[in-house]
Amino acid sequence: MQVRLLGRSGLRVSEICLGAMTFGGTADEAEAGRILDRYVEAGGNFIDTASNYTDGASEEIVGRLAAERGRDRFVIATKYTGPIRPGDPNAFGNQRKNLVQSLDQSLRRLQTDHIDLLWVHIWDATVPVADLMRALDDQVRAGKVLHVGISDAPAWVVARGNTVAELRGWSPFCAIQVEYSLVERSIERELAPMADALGLGVLAWGPQAGGLLTGKYADASSQAGRLDPDDRRMTDENFRIVEALRAVADDLDATPGQVALAWIRAQQPDAIPIVGARNVGQLDESLASIEVGLPPEHKARLDEASAIPLGFPHEMLARFGIGTMRPAPMDA
- Cβ 261 vs Cβ 275: under 8 Å: yes
Question: Is residue 269's pLDDT more than 90?
Answer: yes
Instruction: Name the pLDDT band for 224 (thresholds 50, 70, 90).
Output: very low
Question: Is 265 contained in some domain?
Answer: yes
- Cβ 174 vs Cβ 7: under 8 Å: yes
Question: Is 48 contained in some domain?
Answer: yes
Residue 53 catalytic?
yes
Would you state the pLDDT for residue 71? Answer: 98
Question: Is 135 contained in some domain?
Answer: yes
Check 39, 53, 180, 217 and give the catalytic one.
53
CATH code assigned at 312 = 3.20.20.100
Integer Cα distance of 252 and 235 in angstroms: 26
Question: Is 314 contained in some domain?
Answer: yes
Question: Is residue 107's pLDDT more than 70?
Answer: yes
Integer Cα distance of 92 and 36 in angstroms: 29
Question: Is residue 321's pLDDT more than 90?
Answer: no
Question: Is 326 contained in some domain?
Answer: no
Instruction: Name the pLDDT band for 324 (thresholds 50, 70, 90).
Output: low
Question: Is 332 contained in some domain?
Answer: no
- Cβ 261 vs Cβ 277: under 8 Å: no
Would you state the pLDDT for residue 158? Answer: 98
Would you state the pLDDT for residue 133? Answer: 98
Question: Is 35 contained in some domain?
Answer: yes
Mean pLDDT of 214-243: 74
Would you state the pLDDT for residue 231? Answer: 78
Closest CA to 297 of 244, 239, 257: 244
Per-residue pLDDT reduced to its tens digit, 181-218:
999 999 999 999 999 999 999 999 999 999 999 988 76
Query: Across the chain, where does the E strand assignment appear?
Result: 3-5, 12-14, 17-19, 46-48, 75-80, 115-120, 145-151, 173-179, 201-205, 271-275
Question: Is 97 contained in some domain?
Answer: yes
CB neighbour list of residue 245: distance below 8 Å, 6 or more residues apart: 182, 213, 215, 256, 259, 260, 302, 305
DSSP per position, 291-326: G----HHHHHHHHHHH-----TTHHHHHHTT---SS
Would you state the pLDDT for residue 328? Answer: 53
Per-residue pLDDT reduced to its tens digit, 3-14:
999 999 999 999
Mean pLDDT of 227-241: 81
Domain boundaries, position 230: 3-319
Number of domains observed in the structure of the chain:
1
